[in-house]
Structure 1
């Protein structure tokens, strides 16, 4: 009787804990999705202008932000009627007050006279731009370039227009934090811009969001699996007990 009571007690505790794990897991899993949906918008990259950072057809996660939060080096999604009626994705290389110039020593971009190392570039001759330019970015504006400078239609294509190809901060709707599909990866903030006033953006919350979703899924699966595993274990224990009793009975007959 005592052994049965202990087993029943352990069984009730196990069922309680497994139910709690499932409940907490659902909260984390669904909460992570809701949290992510509130913070992020999905976007499919339409062109190759940002290769190799993002490729045509890549599905990216872009954090919804206000234009005032944009920093140099950010890969942003924006809409500007002078460029296109559709959302576009480019990298911010200059903000209001900056003097952006190309090219400096070794063909590198300079911002306020500081040469910027751009390891993310996809260029044929290793130059930051084959089109020379020098732009003083107006306050409240951004100067944007594609990472594939030889194929990107960006601020350089609008140098002769008012504002010299700059885009209003208010045109930005989101900042790309990660590629979700087909090759999941995080987009790192380029450290070269960190030495300039204002620094670079902090990492987005995509990792905590994904962590909550994964942890929730594991808790749900683990909690749901407890019941069948416990029954199987109990069945094996009962079978061993029955076999032991049978052996004892046979021994007594002999």
Structure 2
């Protein structure tokens, strides 16, 4: 028995319908990946916390959302690329393979944080950051900071004394777990990755700042919003324009 023309047309129509559905599905997936990649590049992305340097604000393994739209300010928790020579074994996340990296790029996996650090922004360009005053407090432009809301329990604001003026185009950062953080203080005598003067490596270039962390989203038990602590609202503006080169002194400020 031979097929009737009607049956042949029905099978052909069925195959055409499946092909059209498959093409539509592929277009939807590709479009979603493109949109996800654009959002990751220009709006925000997720990072995994790799170290203890921001405890107890952020714990190892926390997933944080980092937004890239608004400008960063004093008190923000920021993610940035390694300025050069900062990353130790425990500070950088584990690098994923090619497939994992692809899913990171398209925004389907949180960034492993490889090559990035996360700290609190303490000083903007032109700010004078010093430690410590007569009560053992960190000061910014002469204003003492009350860091009890975020500083790791038992930690001092800084075990080392210093006075710095942040240069143009850079910021000064510190971890909330000061005794476990390789932050700007640790590099105040280091030469930058491209040479230069001692201390150049201590300040993070603004163009290496990925964005500010705004939410802890996982694990669910740690869900929280990351706000600027109230103490930073009392910090006055810098007394003068930021210098081209940092001013660094490893001596205590006048008491």
Give the TM-score range, shorter chain.
0.5 to 0.7
Deviations 1:125-163 (A, max 9, x none): 5x2111111111111110000000011110111010232
Structure number with the bigger relative contact order (C-alpha 8 A, sep ≥ 6) is: 1
Q: Give the equivalent residue in structure 2 for 1:78.
A: 80
- Matches of 1:135 and 1:64, distance apart in 2: 27
Q: Give the equivalent residue in structure 2 for 1:129.
A: 158
**How much has 1:59 moved relative to structure 2?**
0.5
1:170-209 alignment to 2 at 5 Å? 170-182=207-219, 183-197=222-236
Gaps of 5+ in 1: 1-29, 200-254
Deviations 1:9-46 (A, max 9, x none): xxxxxxxxxxxxxxxxxxxxx9xx96975622000000
Deviations 1:22-76 (A, max 9, x none): xxxxxxxx9xx9697562200000001000110000011110247xx12100100
Deviations 1:64-98 (A, max 9, x none): 247xx121001000012232371000001001111
The structure that is helix-richer by fraction is: 1
**How much has 1:191 moved relative to structure 2?**
1.3
Secondary structure of the structure 2 residue equivalent to 1:193: helix
- Matches of 2:235 and 2:52, distance apart in 1: 28
- Matches of 1:192 and 1:36, distance apart in 2: 32
Among 45, 48, 51, the alignment partner of 1:44 is 48
What CA RMSD, in Å, does the superposition of the two structures yield over aligned residues?
2.4
TM-score calculated relative to the size of structure 2: 0.59
- Matches of 1:139 and 1:103, distance apart in 2: 24
Whether contact under 8 Å (1:124, 1:150) holds in the other structure is no
Whether contact under 8 Å (2:76, 2:227) holds in the other structure is no
- Matches of 2:188 and 2:69, distance apart in 1: 27
- Matches of 1:185 and 1:145, distance apart in 2: 21
Are residues 1:152 and 2:181 paired? Answer: yes
Secondary structure of the structure 1 residue equivalent to 2:211: strand
Are residues 1:91 and 2:130 paired? Answer: no
Whether contact under 8 Å (1:65, 1:173) holds in the other structure is no
